[in-house]
């Protein structure tokens, strides 16, 4: 895409990567290394590219909070892998707003844009939030790493791949911004919080289901 865009004379090129996956970060997972390779490939043809590096993205149809909520609906306990690892979840609409600006406005070329939400959360805190918002009175199970690796080895062979060994490697490191930063400051944006978005779409996992309607998160 970068090569074709350069040949066609496209004015701006925006590449989606991931926080903690840049070339300088020496990512432990194949996912992270592939993102770094992607950035390098883009820069060969578009050194002026704007590279977006979000933390874990959340939103109504995400495979993050929804996955936790699905597990807590059907399992007697909620398993938590790497419970102390921290992430900085960022709302999909805020990431899209930044991408739109990078694609349509001048002054944003030839640099990376790491993005995170307003709150840093551990995996254990995320699990507790899901239990609270789904109204489920269940225990958390902190899965030992040796058992987690065995489970991942089995699950990654099944359809859906609920857990893989590479995901465990991703969870071995925090995915957060520098202290007190979100990355949205240059755009004059205040990213939306987990608390303003996630409770709305996790209600459907409560006993008896939840409300329906148009999701309009507040900042």
CATH code for the domain of 179: 3.40.50.720
Q: In which band, very low, low, confident or very high, does the pLDDT at 21 lie, cut at 50, 70 and 90? A: confident
Instruction: Identify whether 212 is part of a domain.
Output: no
Token duo for residue 123: 């995996």
Q: Tell me the three state secondary structure of residue 149.
A: helix
Instruction: Identify whether 41 is part of a domain.
Output: yes
Q: In which band, very low, low, confident or very high, does the pLDDT at 178 lie, cut at 50, 70 and 90? A: confident
Question: What domain range is 111 assigned to?
Answer: 2-205
The Cα 183–Cα 114 span in angstroms is 6
- Of 42 and 219, the structure prediction assigns the larger pLDDT to 42
| Segment 47-84, tens digit of pLDDT | 999 999 999 999 999 999 999 999 999 999 999 999 99
pLDDT of residue 218: 64
Count of domains for the chain: 1
Tell me what the mean pLDDT of segment 138-167 comes to. 93
Instruction: Identify whether 94 is part of a domain.
Output: yes
Beta-carbon contacts of residue 59 (< 8 Å; ≥ 6 apart): 91, 92, 93, 197, 201
Mean pLDDT of the chain: 91
**147 pLDDT above the threshold of 90:** yes
What pTM was computed for the model?
0.90
pLDDT of residue 25: 63
Instruction: Identify whether 217 is part of a domain.
Output: no
Instruction: Identify whether 214 is part of a domain.
Output: no
The Cα 101–Cα 103 span in angstroms is 5
Strands 86-87 and 121-122, bridge-based pairing: antiparallel
Instruction: Identify whether 215 is part of a domain.
Output: no
């Amino acid at each position: 895409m970068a090569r074709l865009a350069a040949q066609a004379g496209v004015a701006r090129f925006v590449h989606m990567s991931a926080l903690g996956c840049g070339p300088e970060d020496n990512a432990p997972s194949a996912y992270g290394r592939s993102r770094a390779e992607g950035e390098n490939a883009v820069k060969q043809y578009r050194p002026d590219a704007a590279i977006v590096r979000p933390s874990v993205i959340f939103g109504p149809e995400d495979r993050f909070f929804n996955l936790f909520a699905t597990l807590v609906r059907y399992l007697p306990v909620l398993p938590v892998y790497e419970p102390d690892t921290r992430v900085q979840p960022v709302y999909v609409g805020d990431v899209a707003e930044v991408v739109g600006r990078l694609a349509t406005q001048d002054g944003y070329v030839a640099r990376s844009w790491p993005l995170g939400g307003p709150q840093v959360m551990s995996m254990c805190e995320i699990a507790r939030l899901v239990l609270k918002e789904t109204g489920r009175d269940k225990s958390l199970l902190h899965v030992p790493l040796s058992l987690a690796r065995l489970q991942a080895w089995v699950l990654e062979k099944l359809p859906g791949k609920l857990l893989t060994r590479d995901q465990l490697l991703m969870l071995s490191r925090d995915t957060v911004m520098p202290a007190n930063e979100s990355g949205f400051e240059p755009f004059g944006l205040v990213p939306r919080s987990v608390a303003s978005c996630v409770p709305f779409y996790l209600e459907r996992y409560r006993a008896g289901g939840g409300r329906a309607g148009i999701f309009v998160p507040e900042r």
